[in-house]
Amino acid sequence: MYTKKVYRAIDMARWTRFESFYFFLYSAAIVSMYYFFDLNWIKIPWTPLALIGTAVAFVIGFQNNSAYGRIWEARKIWGGIVNSSRTFGMYVQDMINNEHTRDPLDEESLKKTIKQLTYRHIAWMTALRHAMRSSKPWETVMSERTNKEWSAAIQPPEWKISLEEDLRPYLSAEDMKYVLSKSNRQTAILYRQSRHLEELKRRGLIWEFSFLQIETLIQELFTLQGKSERIKNFPYPRQFATLNHYFMWIFVWLLPLAIVPQFAEIGSEMLSNHPVMGRFFVWLSIPFYVAVSWVFHTMERIGRTGENPFEGSANDVPISTIARGIEIDLRQNLGESDEEIPDQFEVIYDVQM
C-alpha cells in the first residue's frame, strides 16, 4: 500500500512537471532581479494578494465540488444501468416461454429468441459507451501535453475499434442496417428492442403483464441513457471554468511579487546575526513559491479534468469496464462457455477504462 502511494505521488509529479518547471523558472527570474539588479520596487503588498488568493481558493473549491458532482452523478447513472441490465436479463430468461401461446416454439427457438434480446441489450450498452466517448468541442483536457502522454498508454477501447465493428457480433444484418441509418444508435436499438418485445407479446410468448414489466424496464433504460447523454452534451458552464482558470493564473503570476520582497526583508533582518543565511535567504522564496503555486494550479487542473466524466482520461467513470462486466454476467447466464465470452478490459497502471 505504501509503495502504491509513492508511485501515485511520482505520477502526480510527472503529470504536473512542466508547470512545476515553469514556476521554478519564473520565481528564479523574479528573485534574480532582486538579488543581482537590486530592483526592490517590483513588489505588491500582501493584503490585496491575500484577497485574490482567498477568492481563487473559493472558486477552485466550487469548481472541484461541481466536477466531483458530475463524476458521482455519472457513476450513479451507470450503476443504475448495471442493476437494470441484470434485471432485464432475468426478465427475458424467465418471462419468454410457451405458457400463453397458441403457437409454441421448440426449446432451441426460445433460447435463440432470448439470446437475440440479450445480445441486443449488449449492443445498446456498446452504442451508448461509444456515444459517451465521442469527442466534443469543449472537451480539451486530453489535448494537454502530459495528458497526451497518458493517452498514449491508456486509451478507452472505443478509440481502438469502430462502432460498426463493435456492434457486429450482437446484431443481425437487418438490425445493423436499421441502427446505423440513425444518428442516435443507442435510441434506435431500444426502439428495435421494444418492437421485438411487442411482437413476442402478440404471439403470446410474453404474457401481457410481463410485457408491461419489461417495457417499464425499457423506459428506465431510456431514462438512464438520457441522464448520461445530458452530462455528456451539457458542459460545465464556461463562465465558471474559464474565468477560474484565468483567475488562478493571475494569482500565480502576482504571487512572487509579494513573496520575494517578504523573504528579502526577513533576510535583511538576519544579516547582523547570520550574515550568510541573511544574504541568501531570499532564494528560499523559490521552493516556497513553487509549492504554493503547484497546489493552486494542481487543484484547478484536477477540477478541469473531472468536468467531463466520459472524455477518455484516466479519471473518467470506467464505463467500458462496467459495460463489459454486465456483458459477461448476461452471457454467463445464457450458459455460454468462457471461451465464447470476451475477457474484461485490461487494467493499465491501476486505471480502469
Distance, first Cα to last Cα, the chain: 22
Asked whether the beta carbons of 197 and 217 are under 8 A apart, the reply is no
Element (H, E) at 137: none
Q: What is the pLDDT of residue 5?
A: 62
pLDDT given at position 115: 94
pTM of the full structure:
0.88
pLDDT in tens, 219-247: 999 999 999 999 999 887 777 778 888 88
**How open is the CA angle 234-239-242, to the nearest 5 degrees?**
100
Identify the segments of the chain with pLDDT beneath 50: none
**Residues 261 and 289: beta-carbon distance below 8 Å:** no
Query: According to the model, what pLDDT value does residue 138 have?
Result: 79
Cα distances from 124 to residues 120, 151, 286, in angstroms, run 6, 26, 54
H-helix segments, the chain: 2-15, 17-37, 46-95, 107-133, 145-153, 163-167, 173-180, 185-202, 208-233, 238-254, 256-270, 275-280, 285-305, 319-333
Nearest alpha-carbon partner for 283 in 31, 10, 20: 31
Per the CB < 8 A criterion, the answer to whether 224 and 80 are in contact is yes
- Per-residue pLDDT of 134-178, as tens digits, reads 988 877 777 777 777 777 778 888 988 999 999 999 999 999 999
Long-range contact set of residues 238-242: C-beta below 8 Å, sequence gap at least 24: 238/138, 240/59, 240/62, 240/63, 240/66, 241/63, 241/303, 241/304, 241/307
